[in-house]
A = this chain, B = another copy of it.
Amino acid sequence: MFDVSPLLPEGTPAPSARWSGFPDYNFVGGHIDRATVPVDDLRAAVDRALARDGHDIATYRMQSGPLGYTPLRTFVADKLKRYAGIETTAEDILLTSGSLQAIDLINKLLLRPGDTVIVEESNYGGTLSKLRALGVNMVPVPLDAEGMRMDALETTLDDLAAQGITPKYIFAIVTVHNPTGTILPLDRRHRLLELAKNHGVPVFEDECYSDLTWANTRPPALRALDDSGLVIHIGSFSKTVGPALRVGYINADWPVLGRLVALKTDAGSPVLEQMMLAEYGPAHFDAHVRHCNAVLESKLDAMIDAVNEHFGTTVEFTRPPGGIFLWLKLPEGVTTPRLAEVAGQQGVAVNPGPDWSLQYDADRWIRLCFANPPVETIRDGVAKLAAICHDEFGVPEISGNVRR
């Protein structure tokens, strides 16, 4: 057989293992509730869109050009106004293959190895791993129960300025933070923009979870509070309609967006999802999101009940006001990378803290996604996780009112 390995660049990893399906108790990844996927409305939507514009798939990007399917950009502009207070138009929105591609494009435009960026100390794992791979210096800003601390951001910016360093951006998940679930209050938003503007640093606002709030309201986006072009805003339909669709978007002023378009060399993102969402959105999106939020809140409560029952007072968490994650602090003595490894072997998948946080005690934390598993599975999985944790670390000593 031909051996490719002599031709591979140094450090190329071995081939992946073959995929063997999802774990029984899957608390990782940004998966959503299966039942809430509005299959019938989506079927009707894609059918109408294909009936109207189907022959346009004969050309790359249909008749819409490099920004993506115009009717979906129109809906996104409308949604951004109504949900996030952003005044924009379809001409300043670039549709992407999920918000992952949005992050890649923005990083490709702005970052080179050795550059510096400011990030929330706990963060989306994908952002951290991408920045690491790019050889970028990440300066973390601590969070409290309301999100990024503005005193710490100010100190960080001042310290970097004293070193002659202008960070390339401040990456901020201000509306339903990943993984903590916090929503940054309005006064902090104004302060963040003021600090960023004073230091000439763009703000990279990631709002993938922002539609998912139990109160069905939220403060205006950072991009809504700035009219100077300081903010690059990204979002996604992954958490509201379905992650497998891979539809995200970037909203930014043309000096940035027009350069991102030039870097998007994929001949356009696939259009069928864009057509479907464009047709689905105006009639159904608002009611759908409210329904999702009710379902998600009930699943969160089921998870919290299970955590209280099986972990008791040995764990700490704040009930998030939205999103799909519970960010949980385990007792002293537990190291979550080890817990994740052992639990994974027994069919319980959890994200260990160090993948999602740069904070000093990151290995005490885990991230649990409560959106996808049925309530019964949430209960059983949390019980099983507590049992595994006890077997491995001796805690929690009491689960379900029973001393182990």
Chain A residues near B (Cβ < 8 Å):
1-9, 12-19, 21-22, 29-37, 39, 42-43, 46-47, 50-51, 54-63, 65-67, 91, 97-98, 100-101, 109-110, 112, 166, 168, 197, 200, 202, 228-230, 241-247, 253-259, 261-262, 265-273, 276, 372
Given contacts A244-B268, A270-B245, A270-B273, contact A33 B58 (CB under 8 A): yes
Choose among B50, B91, B259 the residue that contacts A12 (Cβ–Cβ < 8 A).
Answer: B259
* CB neighbours of A51 from chain B (8 A): 39, 43
The reply to whether B259 and A246 contact each other, CB–CB distance below 8 Å, is no
The reply to whether B13 and A259 contact each other, CB–CB distance below 8 Å, is yes
* CB neighbours of A256 from chain B (8 A): 4, 15
Given contacts A7-B168, A50-B43, A202-B2, contact A270 B97 (CB under 8 A): yes
The reply to whether A59 and B31 contact each other, CB–CB distance below 8 Å, is yes
Choose among B16, B34, B276 the residue that contacts A272 (Cβ–Cβ < 8 A).
Answer: B276
> From A272, which residue of chain B is reached at the shortest CB distance?
B272
The reply to whether A266 and B100 contact each other, CB–CB distance below 8 Å, is yes
Choose among B34, B202, B271 the residue that contacts A4 (Cβ–Cβ < 8 A).
Answer: B202
> From A39, which residue of chain B is reached at the shortest CB distance?
B54
> From A49, which residue of chain B is reached at the shortest CB distance?
B43
Tell me, rounded to whole Å, the shortest Cβ–Cβ distance linking A134 to chain B: 12
> From A7, which residue of chain B is reached at the shortest CB distance?
B168
Give the CA-CA distance A269 to B96 in the complex, in Å. Answer: 11
The reply to whether A55 and B35 contact each other, CB–CB distance below 8 Å, is yes
> From A196, which residue of chain B is reached at the shortest CB distance?
B2
The reply to whether A271 and B244 contact each other, CB–CB distance below 8 Å, is yes
Given contacts A100-B265, A110-B7, A229-B1, contact A31 B58 (CB under 8 A): yes
* CB neighbours of A1 from chain B (8 A): 228-229, 253
Given contacts A15-B254, A229-B2, contact A270 B269 (CB under 8 A): yes
Give the CA-CA distance A42 to B200 in the complex, in Å. Answer: 50
Give the CA-CA distance A34 to B257 in the complex, in Å. Answer: 30
> From A256, which residue of chain B is reached at the shortest CB distance?
B4
* CB neighbours of A34 from chain B (8 A): 55-56, 58-59
Give the CA-CA distance A381 to B166 in the complex, in Å. Answer: 53
Q: Which 6 A-B pairs have the closest CB atoms?
A: A15-B258, A19-B65, A57-B242, A39-B54, A57-B244, A246-B270
Give the CA-CA distance A60 to B243 in the complex, in Å. Answer: 5
The reply to whether A243 and B267 contact each other, CB–CB distance below 8 Å, is yes
